[in-house]
Structure 1
Amino acid sequence: MNETQSYISDSAERLDTFLASKIGQSRSQITQLIKKECVHVDGKIVSRSGVKLKENQVVKIDFPPAEAKPALDIDFNVEILYEDKDVLVINKPSGLTVHPAPSVKEATLVDWLKHKGIRLSTISGEERHGIVHRLDKGTSGTMIIAKNNEAHDYLSSQLQDKSMGRYYLAVINPPLKNDITEIECPIARSTHNRLKMACLEHGKYAKTIFRTLALSSDEKNQLVACKLFTGRTHQIRVHLESINRHIIGDHIYATSPKQEKSERILLHAYMIYFIHPTSKERLTFVALPDGQMVEYINKKFNMEQINEVINPNYILHGFASDS
Structure 2
Amino acid sequence: MLKISSLCEERLDVFLSDVLKQSRSQVVRLIKENCVCVNKKIEKKSSKKIKQKDEISILLPQTKEIKENYTPEFDITILHEDDDVLVLNKAPNVVVHGASSVKEATLVDWLLYKGYILSNLNGDHRAGLVHRLDKGTSGAIVIAKNNQSHQFLANQLLDKSMGRFYLALSDLPLKKDKMSNEKAIMRCPSNRLKKITTSHLNSLAKSAKTDFINLLSGKDCSLIAAKLYTGRTHQIRVHLADFNRYILGDELYGYKGKIKYNRVMLHAYLIYFIHPRTKKLMFIKAPMFDDFYQILKENFTQGEIDEKTSLDYLKFSFSF
Q: TM-score range by the shorter chain?
A: 0.7 to 0.9
* 1:34–1:49 CA contact under 8 A, matched in 2: no
Counterpart check, 1:236 vs 2:232: no
- Which of 73, 76, 79 is the aligned partner of 1:78? 76
Alignment correspondent of 2:55: 59
- Paired residue total: 310
Per the TM alignment, residue 74 of structure 1 is displaced from its structure 2 partner at its CA by 1.3
> Unaligned stretches of 5+ in structure 1?
none
* 1:83–1:89 CA contact under 8 A, matched in 2: yes
Cα RMSD (Å)? 2.7
Per the TM alignment, residue 77 of structure 1 is displaced from its structure 2 partner at its CA by 1.1
Moved over 6 A (4+): none
- Once the two structures are overlaid, the 10-residue window that deviates more, 269-278 or 186-195, is 186-195
1:1-323 equivalences under 5 Å are 3=1, 6-9=3-6, 11-12=7-8, 14=10, 24=20, 26=22, 28=24, 29-35=26-32, 36=34, 38-41=36-39, 47-48=45-46, 51=49, 53-54=51-52, 57-61=53-57, 63=59, 66=62, 68-71=64-67, 72-120=70-118, 122=120, 126=124, 128-200=126-198, 201=200, 202=202, 203-216=205-218, 218=219, 220-256=220-256, 258-320=257-319, 323=320
Instruction: Output the amino acid matched with 1:70.
Output: I
Cα 1:90–1:37 change in 2 (3 A) is closer
Distance in 2, Cα, partners of 1:127 & 1:290: 26
* 2:119–2:144 CA contact under 8 A, matched in 1: no
Cα 1:246–1:61 change in 2 (3 A) is same
Per the TM alignment, residue 304 of structure 1 is displaced from its structure 2 partner at its CA by 1.7
- Once the two structures are overlaid, the 10-residue window that deviates more, 196-205 or 121-130, is 121-130
Per the TM alignment, residue 125 of structure 1 is displaced from its structure 2 partner at its CA by 7.0
* 2:247–2:255 CA contact under 8 A, matched in 1: no
Identity %: 42
- What TM-score, normalized to structure 2? 0.86
Q: Deviations over 1:9-41 (max 9, x none)?
A: 5x436455665676x563645544555374225
> Unaligned stretches of 5+ in structure 2?
none
Q: Deviations over 1:212-265 (max 9, x none)?
A: 11111x2x4211111011111001110111111101121321342x45433432
Structure whose CA Rg is larger: 1
Cα 1:80–1:105 change in 2 (3 A) is same
Distance in 1, Cα, partners of 2:102 & 2:5: 45
Distance in 1, Cα, partners of 2:154 & 2:262: 33
- What TM-score, normalized to structure 1? 0.85
